[in-house]
A and B are shown apart, each in its own frame.
Chain A
């Protein structure tokens, strides 16, 4: 085998290897969906962020618009602090958007769904927060409202914004527990007899 043929073959080999890597990066993995580091970071606090992972998708209207980049515990407010990176082109998310943790399918992975607010200002958000709190289904709205009052003016979420309206992840065991305890109390109220043991929290 002459040197030239060898070199050509090595060239083909290296090209094929790099092409394979490129295919793995672009076609197989999510690298193509990353528009580099371009985007802005927003925050949300959840009472319960269990099941959520770094790199979990952030969606709006079912379309992925960003990713979770960090989840940590906020020792002051004793809640989970979730950092999200939103892609640059989605820069018109209303400031009163709410964030909820959903599960894809019954046992699928968790993701954050953003929903636009009613289009009102900060008052609406506060109102909603109170409502939410009264309903008691999810965690109360974020209490640190003072630090990002400036958002109310701009109308859109931007770098460093904090989403105030959040809805925790649904934990199946908690849900079942709640259901059982509600069922028990309603029975007691109705003058029912002794409830079976075990399910109550």
Chain B
């Protein structure tokens, strides 16, 4: 009984390593195909459209609301200390350091990551990827690489848009509705938010998140069991794994960047 459990655990462990290995090999093939992006630049543009532009609405709407909530909550806390001038600092630091990269990555995983997996998985299930291979076209270069790099490219932009509209949302609530001083909101923010330490680190975070999310999404699609059930499971896995990966990676990166 115990032996069987151990054996089962061992098998599961080997499966994890096997999948990780396959995912890494796939990643190296995608990265190795970066030069094939040049003749297929229009594909890359199209993928930015479906990965980035189509995520824009959800990112902007969420960003505004998250900023507004931060403004409201921050104000209620700060006003007790008579420090409501620092509202801009609270809103902007939370956004550029954490919420911007993390929340937009989570939304990105749900919106674009799942779509990527489903699309690639369906292409596999309908033998489109096999057909490409038989036409001597490498689907990793033709299908996966443009999607991967489009995700990598779009994620920091989406996170920046999220943070920017969030700061504006906080401004709207704090200054427009709650009466925080206009000048104090911006000047306190500028005094406390550092371009390199805060904004650039946020950008680095979002690039890292874009990397993991699209990597997982592309791999799950490519590795999906080519049936309708397999594709739906792969899509679920993409959202779950990439959300967990984003949160875990965020902890590591935060510890590295703001640890001291």
Contact = CB atoms under 8 A, between A and B. Distances in A.
Q: State yes or no: do A and B touch (Cβ within 8 Å).
A: yes
Which of B46, B164, B198 has the most chain A CB within a 10 Å cutoff? B164
Contact of A30 (B49, B163, B191): B191
Contact of B160 (A3, A10, A17, A32): A17
Contacts of A7: 45
B131 to A, nearest CB: 23
Contact of B195 (A14, A17, A23, A29): A29
B4 to A, nearest CB: 53
A28 interface: yes
A21 B203 CA distance: 9
B194 interface: yes
B199 A24 contact: yes
Contacts of A18: 157
A6 to B, nearest CB: 5
B160 A6 contact: no
Given A29-B195, A30-B191, A17 B167 contact: no
A20 B157 contact: yes
Contacts of B52: 10, 13
Which of A17, A32, A34 has the most chain B CB within a 10 Å cutoff? A17
Given A13-B52, A18-B157, A29 B164 contact: no
Q: How large is the interface on B (under 10, 10 to 19, 20 to 34, 35 or more residues)?
A: 20 to 34
Nearest to A19: B164
Contacts of B197: 55
A3 B191 CA distance: 44
A29 B198 contact: yes
Which of A10, A24, A30 has the most chain B CB within a 10 Å cutoff? A24
A6 B44 CA distance: 11
A1 B50 CA distance: 11
B92 interface: yes
Nearest to A25: B195
B94 to A, nearest CB: 12
Nearest to A109: B192
A29 B196 CA distance: 9
A16 interface: yes
Contacts of B45: 6-7, 10
Given A6-B46, A9-B49, A29 B163 contact: no
B190 interface: yes
A40 B158 CA distance: 38
A187 interface: no
Contacts of B46: 3, 6
Contacts of A16: 56, 157, 161
Contacts of B198: 29
B62 to A, nearest CB: 14
24 contacts: A3-B46, A7-B45, A9-B53, A10-B45, A10-B49, A12-B53, A13-B53, A14-B48, A17-B158, A17-B160, A20-B160, A20-B161, A20-B165, A21-B156, A21-B160, A23-B164, A23-B167, A24-B167, A28-B193, A29-B193, A29-B194, A29-B195, A29-B198, A30-B190
Given A13-B157, A17-B156, A28-B164, 4 more contacts: A13-B49, A24-B96, A28-B163, A57-B191
